[in-house]
Amino acid sequence: MLWRAPLLIWQILFFVVPLFFLVYLSFWVVKNYRMTPALDPVNWIKMLSRDYFWSAYGLTLTMATVAALLVSLLAFPAAYTLAFKVSARVRQLAVFVLIIPFFTSYLVRIYAWQTLLAENGVINAFFSLLNLGPFTMLNTPIGTMVGYIALTLPLVVILQTISLANIDRSLVEAAHNLGCGKLRTILTVIIPLAKNGIIIGMVFCFILSFGDFVSPYYLGGSKPPTLSILIIDTTKAGQQWPKAAVVAITMIVTLFIVAIAAVAAAYKRPGTR
């Protein structure tokens, strides 16, 4: 049991205690630009009664959900190829290549995307050769989505690849021997067997996108703002950190619900309700 202690201490010190403090902070009041400890629900009442809060919440939830679905769909063909169509050596090399983007700062990569997505940027320069465009991509929800994909796609491909590579090949071969076509094998054999990895990949994509500040700000132009941008905006209103804590707690609760629901779905035994 003793070997569990460091993990427990770590979690208590760096997760449970800060979380309780965040909850406590959300009940503090701000007077003359100074935060004062209190147990006043005013921040919750004010924040949850604002239309813009719910607009930002709905937008963030929608964008993160779309990103999770889109990235999972985009990742699957690549993961399938790496798991079933290439040698183990090539797969290892590909996984290493997928890790490389994480060697550079996410912010730097997003600035590079600005150059690509701008109206006089690289992508529109290519379209102009075909007498198309210019298309507006930067400072739109499309820009935000591109940022989410750039952030999460390599990770989701890796998670799906690991999951697919661990499938018992004899089951796939049995499906083929019993006359199952390629598409049907994927839908009824491979995907159910790789369900855990696919769902965990979706959850990671959702979590990273839901809390991301950089893409919606620098590629989406903060128009309209997501919850992470709302936190920044709130702190610019005269030390309103308690109100920002309300937004942060709402985000954490949402992520908890999504993560628990996803894990439950991933590890649900077949035939159970």
Partner 1 sequence: MNKTDKSDSYNNNRRKILKAGAAAGAAVFAPYIRTAKAAPVEINILSWYGLGEPDMVAEFEEANNVKFKPKYYAGGDNMLAALAQSPPGTFDLIHTDAEYARILIERGDLVDALDPADYPFDDMLHEDFTKFPGHWKDGKLYSVICRYGHLGVSYNTDALTQAEAMSYNAFWSPKLAGKVGHFDWHLPNLGEISLLNGNTSPSPFDIDKAAWDKVKEKTLSLKPQVKGYFDYGGTFASLKNGEILACAGIGDWVTAVVAKDGGKVASVVPDEGGIQWTESYSIVSSSKKKDLVNKYIQYCLSPEGQVKSANMAAYPGFVVTQGGENALIKATPDEAKRSGQMPGLANNPITLINEGKIHYRDTPKQQTLEDWNDFWSEYKNA
- The contact set with partner 1 (CB under 8 A) reads 32-35, 50-52, 55-56, 111, 114-115, 118-121, 136, 138-139, 217-218, 220-225, 230, 233-241
Q: Which is nearer to partner 1, 197 or 225 (CB)?
A: 225
Q: Which two tokens stand for residue 188?
A: 């009824």
Least distance CB 147 / partner 1 (angstroms): 13
Judge contact between 99 and 158, C-beta under 8 A. Answer: yes
Contact 128, 119 (CB under 8 A): no
* Smallest distance from partner 1 to CB 232, Å: 9
Can you give the three-state secondary structure of 92-137, one letter per residue?
Answer: HHHHHHHHHHHHCCHHHHHHHHHHHHCCCCHHHHHHHHCCCCCCCC
- CB-nearer residue toward partner 1: 118 or 262: 118
**Nearest distance, CB of residue 122 and partner 1, angstroms:** 11
Taking the complex as a whole, the smallest distance from the CB of residue 140 to partner 1 amounts, in Å, to 9
Q: Which whole-number Å values give the CA distances from 23 to 82, 144, 201, in the listed order?
A: 44, 30, 29
CA distances from 19 to 24, 41, 242 (A): 9, 17, 13
Nearer Cβ to partner 1, position 120 or 272? 120
Nearer to partner 1, 145 or 175 (CB): 145
CB of 53 to partner 1, least distance (A): 8
Nearer to partner 1, 31 or 182 (CB): 31
Distance CA 254, CA 251 (A): 5
